[in-house]
Amino acid sequence: MPANLPRPHGLYFEEFEPGQRITSPGRTITESDIVSFAGLSGDFTQIHTDAEYSATAGFGQRVAHGLLGLSIASGLSVRTGLLEGTVMAFREVNEWKFVKPVFIGDTIRVDMEVMETKALPRVGGGTVVIKLDVKNQKDETVMRGNWTVLVMSQPE
């Protein structure tokens, strides 16, 4: 690594081991999050954006977009520091399940566990499969699945 660049805070590929666990900080979902995501994605489905409609449909209130929850889970995962500066690419989302709705005012966190690693010397790192369990403030799983990320190797 060039001398003028700081050392990444994240773990290098060689530092990941199956069984490692870490929990992210929490983050409260706001109405602004949902409105902003609707504008960004173009998904203005009423269950997300219309309080009157949502009061009489499905869950009795507005629900955060599933992909908004997935996106916030990604950010929370990065906030753990595990991948900060060492992740090369987000490769796959595997077996993702949206288990329960996420509502305005819910606080979610991500419990992460390293499941497997595979060295890829030709790309200067390897893949790390991480199991994620996204939980709300009641400790209920709201979504879960596995991510595969490409992580750089330690510099020589």
Which residues of the chain, if any, have pLDDT below 50? 1
- Segment 56-86, tens digit of pLDDT: 998 999 999 999 999 999 999 999 999 988 9
Q: What is the 3 state secondary structure string of the chain? A: CCCCCCCCCCCCHHHCCCCCEEECCCEECCHHHHHHHHHHHCCCCHHHHCHHHHHCCCCCCCECCHHHHHHHHHHHHHHCCCCCCCEEEEEEEEEEEECCCCECCCEEEEEEEEEEEEEEHHHCEEEEEEEEEEECCCCCEEEEEEEEEEEECCCC
Pick the CATH number of 13-152 from 3.40.30.10, 3.10.129.10, 3.40.50.970, 3.20.20.140: 3.10.129.10
pTM comes to: 0.90
